[in-house]
Structure 1
């Protein structure tokens, strides 16, 4: 066996990277390929990316529920899945278009410029992208930690918006226009609330020191959970049916109907702890 002291210094410096590559799993190597492709396009350095990504993912993830709302008029099975099946027809295409118009206007006028300004004020060194992708384990743990932290921050902010009358009237009331919300309406809120929630999501990832790729995946999951919460359907394959600690659409629709319960966006533990939890599952 070669003595470690006999190995040339430059080879000793390469050994940790060689060992890391040998220990890497296929999923880790796939993540590295994905990360290399992302870094090559340099899209993560854009000051407009956070707001544009939030809007684009929200609209795209809402599209399947637009199809469900369209089918509900002709397919009884879809109407049976609706949480508000007895309260009237599903939202029409005109309602969806009006909601989309409001979102585009608020993002263009306020959210995109404000987030771009805040991004430009940050330390440029913090936006430098690492060469290595996170391991699969690190990505999963960071995404889970971000969701838990964001859920806690959102719960506190959401509760404050309901308990402080000025905040409710001037910031949050617009989001409660529909007692039976639909998927796209998850972001149908005042520009102040939209900006505050985007900043909470960004802060969650930054406070935890997440890898940029973990942050991208977190924002994707965050958008999906928000859409599912507001979709108006209790689907058999919904995440809340698989993971009992998630509230899902029934949990959040009860909030829109009763106002004083179920303030946490995704998980149920904060509402249970503070006595604001209302069970909604019939089965």
Structure 2
């Protein structure tokens, strides 16, 4: 809750006029208790997840042939999945003025992504151990060719395990509540995108260096219980360092097969032309 009673009092404390964003934040959070703002993080997360996945689901219904693995899309299998969401109290999250600068937000988001990618890599890899997969992670892999809404299709324990890094990094590097909301929204959108099955060339994630993306995660889902590669949630760095980026070799094999098919097709056309000339 902001401690200033009026806009004028807040501007005197800041020593300057508030920006329009800060004014909007003051109107929204000025008399709102902090625990209510924490609860709104849950609303932001669900809204970002739903609003990102819905257009992708409609796109899949209208143009399924554009999916990365269109022929492999299957219906959900029967399973006992209890999806739960949880809210948390986060130490060090500030809610007052001034709002963080764009540079501070960008730096914090970068740190969060790198930290979560490392933690998420090892937790995800742990879930592919025999016991963890058979009792927990199998639910998420009921989609061998996932879609956007499959991002949240997980055992309740997995939601806690793989959701922990995104929350934990904000304790290690505290931020403003607005940054927390933005971080949750971005992570929900990125999770939906990597499960969407569509590798759009215009996606903003194409601008992120070393980003794993849709094709790698789609490849990870295609292997099910036997898959022991491409565990990192965001970047390719951990998979490359620890030797689990099998998708690189898979893609190279596909390119080689495609080249061989093109050569074979050209040879057939050439042989056909020669036969017609002889006739």
TM-score > 0.5, shorter chain as reference:
yes
| 1:157 aligned to which of 117, 120, 123 | 123
Describe the shift of the 1:34–1:51 C-alpha distance in structure 2 as closer, same or farther (beyond 3 A). Answer: same
Deviation at 1:16, TM superposition (A): 9.2
What's the counterpart of residue 55 of structure 2?
64
- The runs of 5 or more residues in structure 2 that have no matched partner are 1-10, 256-279
Deviation at 1:219, TM superposition (A): 0.8
Q: Distance in 2 between matches of 1:167 and 1:157?
A: 10
What's the counterpart of residue 258 of structure 2?
none
Aligned residues: 236
Describe the shift of the 1:151–1:71 C-alpha distance in structure 2 as closer, same or farther (beyond 3 A). Answer: same
RMSD: 3.1
Q: Distance in 2 between matches of 1:86 and 1:62?
A: 20
Structure 1 residue 246 and structure 2 residue 211: aligned?
yes
What's the counterpart of residue 229 of structure 2?
261
CA contact (8 A) 2:123 2:161 kept: no
Describe the shift of the 1:211–1:128 C-alpha distance in structure 2 as closer, same or farther (beyond 3 A). Answer: closer
CA contact (8 A) 2:151 2:195 kept: yes
What's the counterpart of residue 148 of structure 2?
183
What's the counterpart of residue 40 of structure 1?
30
**Higher radius of gyration, 1 or 2:** 2
What's the counterpart of residue 96 of structure 2?
130
TM-score normalised by the chain length of structure 1: 0.72
- The runs of 5 or more residues in structure 1 that have no matched partner are 1-13, 23-27, 74-78
TM-score normalised by the chain length of structure 2: 0.73
User: 3-state SS of the aligned residue for 2:83?
Assistant: helix
CA contact (8 A) 2:198 2:214 kept: yes
User: 3-state SS of the aligned residue for 1:106?
Assistant: coil
What's the counterpart of residue 106 of structure 1?
83
Give the 4+ runs in structure 1 shifted more than 6 A. Answer: none
CA contact (8 A) 2:148 2:195 kept: yes
Deviation at 1:51, TM superposition (A): 3.9
Deviations 1:144-192 (A, max 9, x none): 2111111111111101111x32222222111011110000001100011
Structure 1 residue 148 and structure 2 residue 114: aligned?
yes
CA contact (8 A) 1:83 1:234 kept: yes
